[in-house]
Chains A and B, each alone.
With several copies, the nearest count.
Chain A
Amino acid sequence: MASETQVDEAPARGIPDHIEVTRALEAIFMVVDEPQSVVGLASAVGRPVKEVRAAIADLVADFDGLNGGPQRGFELREVGGGWRIYVRSDLDDVVRDFVHTQNPSKLSQAALETLAVIAYKQPISRGAIASIRAVNVDSVVRTLLGRGLITEAFTDSETGAIHYETTDLLMVQLGINSLDELPKISPLLDDGSEGFDDVR
């Protein structure tokens, strides 16, 4: 997600030896507004990925109250490909009045189903989505694009068909960290349906 910014700067030199990685990570988590990947964090603090991974696990346990301290009102979650601080879910109602996020309107059933098709079949062209859904999906695809839940992956050089894939934002909104966490439905999709996909 951080790809909006170009990385032609020299990497950060890393943190001084006397500072614990956990403390540096805590500080960084206070200023970020996007999920932070372990690799990105490792490069920011100038320590090996393995060490950073261990430090994150330590912080997660710490905030969860497993290191002898209290269970914090916040937690560290891995969502949408990286780590971020969230309010612990028991306290969602308590903080609700302090956040002014607008929850976007609910997706229609058609949009949800189309989203599911794209999530499981990505990258997939609009025509292929339409042949699975057997209805016109143009406006639904546009809605999903506008919501940032899907994006254009590539354009087929032969057919000119744009192929779509899901975004990190979808994973964030689903509260998952990877597409592997989608429910398995493949047993149903494997048999026979291939022939129809090949057509498009």
Chain B
Amino acid sequence: MARSPESTVEPVDAPAGFRVTLDDFDGPFDLLLSLITKRELDITEVSLSVVTDEFLAYLRALDTGDGYDSDGLDQASEFLVVAVTLLDLKIASLLPQGELVDAEDVALLEARDLLFARLLQYRAFKEVSGWFAAGIEAEAHRHVRSVRLEDQYRETTPELKWTLSLDDFAALALLALTPREIPTVGLDHLHAPLVSIREQAAHVVALLRQGEPLTFRQLIAGAEVKGVIVARFLALLELYRNSAVGFEQLEPLGELTVRWTAENWNDENLVNLGADYGQ
């Protein structure tokens, strides 16, 4: 049942679902994903707003007045998952590129790859969920021997030793019935990252404003979590877009030095920083 990586980029849905019509693409949404994952379609060429508009129209058509059926909801949630990832992917590909030297392009590509990998990961789980569905379906038709214990054995089971007082019993009930988590309407699903690019930008600004140029290596010193390093890198790109920092690199893949270049920096600039990333 092992699957080759190739197999996961094939469309899995029946063509009946959500379809997209774009300038250079017309077909099922899933096929669109397949093309992007196969890199046969450039993500920057895809208008996400058009895709989103079409999807909303599609959902409205599904709404029969009694709300959506579960297929519709499944599709809606799938769309959101993928759209968020596509959005990230697109942002990464639209980040400033013009004046960057090759090494940054490489690094940028890595940031994109990370998002790309997440899209792949999502699709892998989606694919394999079919295996789960098939397994559960097949096993539901199997019959296991599960019969009442013969009376002669039932009667000879050891007598129960009951040691609990009434109050102990009530305490146990209280313990078991107390919800362990306070239910909240989480915003996590809106893809709020625990690592904030804004926070990382603030950290970088604090270091660089002292005047001395620092290498990227120095800037990420002490950051052990890959996500933090990525966020710090993205923060630098954002600062670069705001003309707050300059880069210097003597050779490809060599040490990257970051210089503070802002003339009129105001910490309020931080507030809008990284807004494109959904913070």
Interface residue ranges, A against B (CB under 8 Å): 5, 9, 29-33, 74, 84-87, 89, 92, 95-96, 99-101, 103-110, 112-117, 119-121, 126-127, 130-138, 146-147, 149, 162, 172-176, 181-189, 191-196, 198-200
Contacts and interface: CB of A to CB of B under 8 A. Distances in A.
A168 B38 CA distance: 37
A29 B177 CA distance: 36
B2 interface: yes
B256 interface: no
A136 B85 CA distance: 15
A106 to B, nearest CB: 5
Contact of A135 (B121, B161, B167, B189): B189
Interface in B69-123: 70-71, 73-74, 77-78, 80-81, 84-85, 110, 113-114, 116-118, 120-123
A174 B186 CA distance: 31
Contact of A100 (B78, B140, B156, B177): B156
Contacts of A113: 125-126, 129, 172-173, 175-176
Contact of B143 (A92, A132, A175, A184): A92
A31 to B, nearest CB: 5
B230 A195 contact: yes
A30 B120 contact: no
Interface in B121-142: 121-133, 135-136, 138-142
Contacts of A131: 188, 191, 193
A110 B118 contact: no
Contact of B136 (A29, A89, A174): A174
B142 A87 contact: yes
A186 B174 contact: yes
B139 A87 contact: no
